[in-house]
Amino acid sequence: MIALLLRDLRLAVRAGGGFGLGLAFFLIVTVLIPFGVGPETGLLSRIAPGILWIGALLACLLSLDRIFALDWEDGSLDLLATAPLPMEGIVTIKALAHWITTGLPLVLAAPALGVLLSLPPSGYLWVLVSLALGTPALSVIGTFGAALTVGLKRGGLLLSILVLPLYVPTLIFGAEVARRGAEGLAVQTPLLMLAGISFGTLALLPFASAAVLRINLR
Amino acid sequence: MSIWEYANPVKFIRTTDRILPWVSVAAVLCLVTGLVWGYFFTPDDYRQGATVKIIYLHVPSALMAINAWIMMLVASLIWIIRRHHVSALAARAAAPVGATFTIIALATGALWGQPMWGTWWAWDPRLTSFLILFLFYLGYMALWSAIENDDTAADLTSILCLVGSVFALLSRYAVLFWNQGLHQGASLSMDKEENVADVFWYPLLVCIAGFVLLFVALVFLRTQTEIRARRSRALLAREGRT
């Protein structure tokens, strides 16, 4: 499993695109928002947590179809399926690799982009914490969507239609943590819910993703 | 005699052919009775005026929008566990009907909300959950139409339906937490003191029955169509080979 993880990470780094693209997209989205709503500082700092969350979510979404697509095309997914590794393990590792290459850089970049959006000082910690807790759920849910659409030619758009509704609870609780944190309110309840969603999906959803992948490889 | 006999498509078509006219007629009768009764023979509400009559479309369609999803969930489970094709096709047939009910509920809700709350739309938990439910219907139908192999499509959509149900429930509670509502709570429960007055209640009950029957009739009809379409495709494929 660790070998598979290392292989995926190495591919992501050397093939290019994986690391930088999501991050660049995140940057562009957050830069575009002020153009759309105006540069007024008060408004921006109020909506900054939400923007950061939506930007991270979209950047995550953008890179989902790469989770299985390359392995599907060159057939290494079939090899992995016949390997002694259980399919659930493969799916979990794939989600983890996606999180490390996409989610983690987003989490680390978010405070820097918060500066651009004049995020209140109290918000930095909570934006960081909520994204760090929430992005694994985004990766795991996204892996499920990617497994659903792996064999399809025009899977990209369908993937977003399938995955975005599934992102709703994570987004609600994650953005709520960031917003409450930025306004200096108590964050415990949404934080616990967010953690619950993350660990719950991490524990249960790989079984669904593995089942779906098995059907698609049939 | 067990319910699984109807997993046989021929048997299913024969039985539903016999039931379908009755269900359709009953649905039309109930809908006409309920709507005419509701629209012309009930008094206006003392505060809401005539707009209260939207209830005869709004409540039944909202009810059926949720029930259609539950029916799809059960049908998907039956497909995954027992692999009866009729079940998968019934789930597929129910999805557009459920989506339409969801739209009707949202549209009538907007029409009702405008005079009552002064807004077409509010990010109220109930409204938002319905919008999310509609998105789930869209994704489900899109997945069905995107995959060519019938069995693969049935398998994938069934699993999507199961996972989607869990996430739909999660979203329901997430939006409850997220925003306070304008929409009233349940007012049709059996065990509560404060319910809709009887004058409105009886025609509403007839309308709900009409919508249920309409749903059953549409699902039967659409399932038959799906079975026949698949059969004709199989025949065409066989001719092409020989």
| pLDDT, position B49 | 72
CB contact under 8 A, B146 and A149: yes
CB contact under 8 A, A172 and B175: yes
Chain A interface, best mutation among B131, B141, B175, B178, by max A CB count within 10 A: B178
Distances (CA, A) of B205 to B52, B68, B176, B186, B200: 15, 18, 28, 15, 9
Q: Which positions in chain B touch A144 (Cβ < 8 Å)? A: 163
d(CA B39, CA B53): 6
Q: How many CB atoms lie within 10 A of CB B28?
A: 14
Which residues neighbour B174 within 8 Å (Cβ) at sequence distance 6 or greater?
A168, A169, A172, A173, A193
pLDDT at B202 over 80: yes
pLDDT at A86 over 60: yes
CA dihedral over B173, B177, B183, B186, signed as positive or negative: positive
| pLDDT, position B195 | 60
d(CA A68, CA A65): 7
| pLDDT, position B194 | 55
pLDDT at B138 over 90: yes
CB contact at 8 A, A182 and A195: no
Distance from CA of A212 to the nearest CA of B (A): 6
| pLDDT, position A77 | 84
pTM exceeding the 0.90 threshold for the entire prediction: no
d(CA A61, CA A55): 10
d(CA B116, CA B24): 34
Which CATH fold would you assign to the domain B19-182+201-241? Answer: Four Helix Bundle (Hemerythrin (Met), subunit A) (1.20.120)
| pLDDT, position B225 | 92
Which two structure tokens, joined as six digits, stand for B18? 């016999």
Cβ pairs A/B, distance under 8 A: 75
Nearest to A50 by CA among A189, A180, A179, A203: A179
CA dihedral over B161, B162, B164, B168, signed as positive or negative: positive
Q: What is chain B's alpha carbon radius of gyration, rounded to the nearest angstrom?
A: 20
Query: For residue range B211-220, what is the model confidence (pLDDT) as tens digits?
Result: 999 999 999 9
ipTM exceeds 0.90, yes or no: no
| pLDDT, position B199 | 74
pLDDT at B24 over 90: yes
Tell whether A187 is within 8 A of chain B (Cβ). no
pLDDT at A16 over 80: no
CB contact under 8 A, A173 and B138: no
Render B15-82 in DSSP notation, one character per residue. HHHHHHHHHHHHHHHHHHHHHHHHHHSSPPBTTTBGGGGGHHHHHHHHHHHHHHHHHHHHHHHHHHHH
CB contact at 8 A, B128 and A130: no
Distances (CA, A) of B68 to A138, B137, B215: 28, 10, 8
- What one-character DSSP code corresponds to residue A103? I
CB contact under 8 A, B177 and A189: yes
Express as a percent the part of chain B with pLDDT over 70. 90
CB contact under 8 A, A169 and B171: yes
CA-CA-CA-CA dihedral for B198, B200, B203, B207, to nearest 10: -120
pLDDT band at B73, cuts 50/70/90?
Answer: very high
pLDDT band at A33, cuts 50/70/90?
Answer: confident
The backbone torsions φ and ψ at residue B111, rounded to the nearest 5 degrees and listed phi first, read -65, -35
Chain B interface, best mutation among A215, A217, A218, by max B CB count within 10 A: A215
d(CA B164, CA A168): 11
Distances (CA, A) of B200 to B20, B111, B183, B191: 29, 19, 19, 18
Among B143, B152, B174, the residue with its CB nearest the CB of A172 is: B174
Q: Which positions in chain A touch B156 (Cβ < 8 Å)? A: 148, 212, 215-216
Q: What is the mean pLDDT of residues A136-160?
A: 87
Which two structure tokens, joined as six digits, stand for A178? 């960031």
Instruction: Give me the helices (H) in chain B, please.
Output: 9-40, 55-82, 85-117, 125-146, 150-178, 198-241
pLDDT band at B112, cuts 50/70/90?
Answer: confident
Q: Which positions in chain B touch A198 (Cβ < 8 Å)? A: none
CB contact under 8 A, B167 and A216: no
Which two structure tokens, joined as six digits, stand for A32? 């575009």
Which residues neighbour B219 within 8 Å (Cβ) at sequence distance 6 or greater?
B71, B90, B93, B94, B97
CB contact under 8 A, A144 and B163: yes
Distance from CA of A177 to the nearest CA of B (A): 11
Tell whether A195 is within 8 A of chain B (Cβ). no
pLDDT band at A39, cuts 50/70/90?
Answer: confident
Among B136, B160, B167, the residue with its CB nearest the CB of A148 is: B160
pLDDT at B26 over 80: yes
| pLDDT, position A21 | 80
Amino acid at B229: A
Q: What is the mean pLDDT of residues A126-146?
A: 92
| pLDDT, position B75 | 93
pLDDT band at A142, cuts 50/70/90?
Answer: very high
Most confident of A38-42, A154-158, B149-153, B227-231: B227-231
| pLDDT, position B220 | 92
Render A7-29 in DSSP notation, one character per residue. HHHHHHHHH-SHHHHHHHHHHHH
d(CA A126, CA A182): 7
Q: Searching chain A, which residue's CA lies closest to the CA of residue B167?
A: A166
CB contact under 8 A, A165 and B139: yes
| pLDDT, position B188 | 58
CB contact at 8 A, B132 and A165: yes
| pLDDT, position B72 | 94
Residue A193 CB-half CA count within 13 A: 21
Q: What is the mean pLDDT of chain A?
A: 86
- Domain boundary assignment for chain B: 19-182+201-241
Q: What is the mean pLDDT of residues A41-68?
A: 87
- Domain boundary assignment for chain A: 2-217
Distance from CA of A10 to the nearest CA of B (A): 31
pLDDT at B191 over 70: no
d(CA A143, CA A1): 17
d(CA B59, CA B40): 18
When mean pLDDT is compared across A3-7, A11-15, B125-129, B201-205, the lowest value belongs to: A11-15
Residue carrying the six token digits 């994204």: A131
Q: Searching chain A, which residue's CA lies closest to the CA of residue B168?
A: A166
| pLDDT, position B1 | 56
pLDDT at B20 over 70: yes
Q: Which positions in chain A touch B142 (Cβ < 8 Å)? A: 158, 161-162
| pLDDT, position A181 | 87
Tell whether B159 is within 8 A of chain A (Cβ). yes
pLDDT at A166 over 80: yes
